[in-house]
Amino acid sequence: MAALKSEFKEFHKTIKLDQYSENKKLRDKRDLLIDELSDKLKDEKIPDTEKKLTFTKFDQGSYAINTGIKPKDDDYDIDVGVLFDLTNDEYDSSKLKQLVFDKLDEQHNRTVVFNRPCITVKYSDGYHVDLAIYSDNDNDYHIAWGKKNSKTNKCWYKSEPKELTSWVKDVSDVDAESSQFRRVVRYLKKWKLKHFSSSGNEAPPSIGLTIQARNAYHEQASYVNDNDLGALINVVKDIKSSFTSKFEFETLSFKKTVEVDLPVEPYKNVYYKMTLNQLDNYSNKVDDLLEALESARDEESIYEACKVLRQVFGDDFPLTEDTKRSAVKPAIVTGNNA
């Protein structure tokens, strides 16, 4: 049976965001934007008051929980929370979000996009920064939610981004367990990159994979000492077991579906954008993933096991040749030697 310890170690080193290069560049982009926004808002006041419009920033997403991987096509990103010191009644959510958009859209060396959950600033070198706009609302955080030209669903939406980060990071008090958890999340993200389209809602969002992996670690004790393949198999088994069957009247057939709720407010299902067919496809791919992982585990040949895992993760997974047997043949004992 193959544990492939050295292969997974090399694989993880290859796919992980480098703390001193990629992550540093992301931090630099973030800090420049935050400093620029602070400067451009220095004379702004909350409407109908003399109170200055001020904010602080905090990290969120994969950067905050340290589960980032090198992206496809060098599309690096970082998520930042921009927390304004105001209540929901003091500033309309869409107007404040528009103000941030306008201030950041004054420069022409980048593209600024008004998205439902955030303002995205894209750079020509492939990096982009997502800025989510929050109100402190007397320490009861709400996010400015909604599309730019939408006539409905533009509001302050209750959110607990810092609590979500803390919940994910609090997977274990044991460093070896929390470190393995982060590696397993990175493996799942790499699998997702290879097997799902990057456009539309076909792919399960990374936060969903992260929550499911965290649940598996915390509730199902998925940790396997010094064996990432074993831990990954445990997590994928738990993900597989979370699916249920739902009858679809249009096709008169059963489809697999799953709901994964945020563990903090607003407690919404993170897979809400995925259709029943997309969820069924996700389930089928999880089945294929588990079958491949168990096949690699049970393979006697390291080389053959690596070939299986390259089908799962792509060519970033190393291909290790089996240890060659000694070319020296044993002496043949005959009766004349007796």
pLDDT digits 0-9 by tens, 84-117: 999 999 999 999 999 999 999 988 789 999 999 9
For the chain, which domains are there? Answer: 13-159 (3.30.460.90), 171-313 (no CATH)
Nearest Cα to 221, choosing from 180, 262, 169, 282? 180
The secondary element (H helix, E strand) that includes residue 258 is none
**Distance from chain centroid for Cα 139:** 27
| Percentage of the chain modeled with pLDDT above 70 | 94
Q: Rounded to whole angstroms, how far apart are CA atoms 162 and 164? A: 5
What would the pLDDT profile of 210-227 be if each residue is shown by its tens digit?
A: 999 999 998 778 899 999
Q: pLDDT grade, residue 22 (50/70/90)?
A: confident
What would the pLDDT profile of 87-96 be if each residue is shown by its tens digit?
A: 999 999 999 9
Question: If you average pLDDT over residues 258-265, what whole number do you get?
Answer: 96
* Average pLDDT value over all residues in the chain: 91
Phi, psi dihedrals of residue 55, rounded to the nearest 5° = -150, 165
- Is the pLDDT at 337 greater than 80? The verdict is no
Residues 79 and 115: beta-carbon distance below 8 Å: no
pLDDT (0 to 100) of residue 241: 96
Q: Rounded to whole angstroms, how far apart are CA atoms 54 and 91? A: 12
CA atoms in the 13 A half-sphere facing the CB of 244: 5
Tokens of 22: 């990629």
pLDDT (0 to 100) of residue 312: 98
Euclidean distance between the first and the last CA atom of the chain, given in angstroms as a whole number: 41
Q: pLDDT grade, residue 21 (50/70/90)?
A: low
- Is the pLDDT at 15 greater than 70? The verdict is yes
Residues 137 and 87: beta-carbon distance below 8 Å: yes
- Pinpoint the alpha helices (H) of 268-314: 276-298, 302-313
What would the pLDDT profile of 118-166 be if each residue is shown by its tens digit?
A: 999 999 888 899 999 999 999 999 999 999 887 777 899 999 999 999 9
- Is the pLDDT at 326 greater than 50? The verdict is no
- Is the pLDDT at 328 greater than 60? The verdict is no
What would the pLDDT profile of 170-213 be if each residue is shown by its tens digit?
A: 999 999 999 999 999 999 999 999 999 877 789 999 999 999 99
Question: If you average pLDDT over residues 47-59, what whole number do you get?
Answer: 96
Q: Is the dihedral of CA 115, 119, 274, 292 positive or negative?
A: positive
Nearest Cα to 84, choosing from 131, 146, 147? 131
pLDDT (0 to 100) of residue 107: 82
- Is the pLDDT at 323 greater than 90? The verdict is no
Q: Please give the DSSP secondary-structure letter assigned to residue 83.
A: E
- Is the pLDDT at 41 greater than 50? The verdict is yes
Residues 254 and 205: beta-carbon distance below 8 Å: no
Q: Which residues, in sequence order, are CB contacts of 307 under 8 Å at separation 6+? A: 319
Residues 153 and 145: beta-carbon distance below 8 Å: yes
The model carries a pTM of 0.90
- Is the pLDDT at 283 greater than 60? The verdict is yes
